Amino acid sequence: MSDKATNYQCPSCTGPLHYDGAAGRLQCDYCGSSFDPAEIEKLYAEKEQQAASQSETGSDTGEWQSSADEDWGTDADKMRVYSCPSCGAQLICEETTAATSCPYCGNPTVIPEQFSGILKPDYILPFKLSKEDAIKALKKHYLKKPLLPSTFSKANHLEEIKGVYVPFWMYDGEASGSVRFHATTVHKYTSGDYEITETSHYDVRRAGSIAFEKIPVDASSKMPDDYMDSIEPYDYTELKPFSTAYLPGFLADKYDVSVEDSRDRANRRCAGSLVNALEKTVTGYASCNETGRSIQLKRGKVHYALLPVWILNTRWEGKDFLFAMNGQTGKLVGNLPVSTKRVIGLFAAIAALFVAISVTAILLMAR
């Protein structure tokens, strides 16, 4: 049985609406009208109430029998079927999909049931940067990479680019405790014909506490955790109360990693915030390394939010390369290929320079 899906249509011409991050409004590509998300959300809530009061029921008999209903395999439990409100096509999506587009009519489709009741996020951070901004950022990322193969930026093919609202848990609380560091100072001086390096070692201890608010941990198993951590921070002053009106034109998932399963990552991030803050107070040393810690966490409220991420996939010489960009700030991360020839050339240049310096030193000593 199909679940309910929604297309946000223009009240003026019934064309599909999509959210424009730059304008902060829902835009119609057909008539050019624009609307405030709250205005459209209210309009559709009224339509749903009217439809519920006018609904009719019926039944058919003599259905065709199909073996497809018997067993779809283990993957069936992870899939859901929805009907496109615009053309009636059946959309088969993963169970966590909350916003997508119809492959037949192309209209943005939102599945509100994925965000109802306890599944409803507290906040959403709307996209601010466009697909074009993401492509420009990727091309800029290629620049000034001396070990990047010369043909990569010209020959790689952009396989896919998609804007995704990624689910995040946000943790409030406080961390307190003490951290122990091993620090050194280095003093160099000459004595006669000798150059002496004197290293002093110190046992440095720091203690304190820090309150944290909305420490983010991504709640999607499909997103690489290191990428999601690397594109931070987000500007939380632009967080909005959640509304599905921000979703059209983008993909969105509901969480599939629970608060409990994210607890260890949250603990590490919160404790790490205190250690970093205390380490910054250890100044005036040549080196500083943590040797021990004793930290207590006071856990507070957990918020549920959707944050904007552009995902870009490129392909070059049969290999896939994934990039992620913060949809609000433009910070982009991703792995690039390395040219073996350029690595060899770089080492050869360094070796040649070292040999030249050594020969010069020997000649000077021989005089």
Of 182, 202, 179, give the one whose Cα is nearest residue 274: 179
Residue 66, pLDDT score? 41
123 and 241 in contact (C-beta within 8 Å)?
yes
> Which of these, 88, 150, 87, lies nearest to 341 by C-alpha position?
150
The residues, ordered by sequence, that sit 6+ positions from 161 with a Cβ below 8 Å of its Cβ are 131, 134, 135, 310, 311, 312, 313
Reference 33, options 48, 20, 46, 47; nearest CA is 20
Confidence (pLDDT) at 168: 96
pLDDT for position 225: 92
124: which residues sit within 8 A by CB, 6+ positions away?
165, 239, 240, 241, 242, 243, 246, 305, 306
Give the C-alpha separation, 350 to 356, whole Å.
10
Each residue's pLDDT expressed in tens, for the chain with a length of 367 residues: 445 667 677 887 777 788 888 888 888 877 778 888 888 788 777 776 766 565 554 445 555 444 444 444 544 556 676 667 777 666 666 777 777 777 667 777 777 777 777 678 999 999 999 999 999 998 888 776 665 666 666 656 677 888 999 999 999 999 999 999 999 999 999 888 888 999 999 999 999 999 989 999 999 998 999 999 999 999 999 999 999 889 888 888 889 999 999 989 999 999 999 999 999 999 999 999 999 999 999 989 999 999 999 998 887 777 888 899 999 999 999 887 754 555 455 455 555 566 556 556 555 555 5
Per DSSP, helices labelled H in 281-332 are: none
pLDDT of residue 79: 66
| Confidence (pLDDT) at 77 | 57
pTM over 0.85: no
CB-based contact 128:310 (threshold 8 Å): no
**Which pLDDT does position 362 carry in this prediction?**
58
Nearest to 110 by CA among 100, 102, 119, 120: 100
- The CA distance from 262 to 43, in Å, is 37
Nearest to 260 by CA among 172, 173, 169: 169
Give the per-residue pLDDT at 177. 96
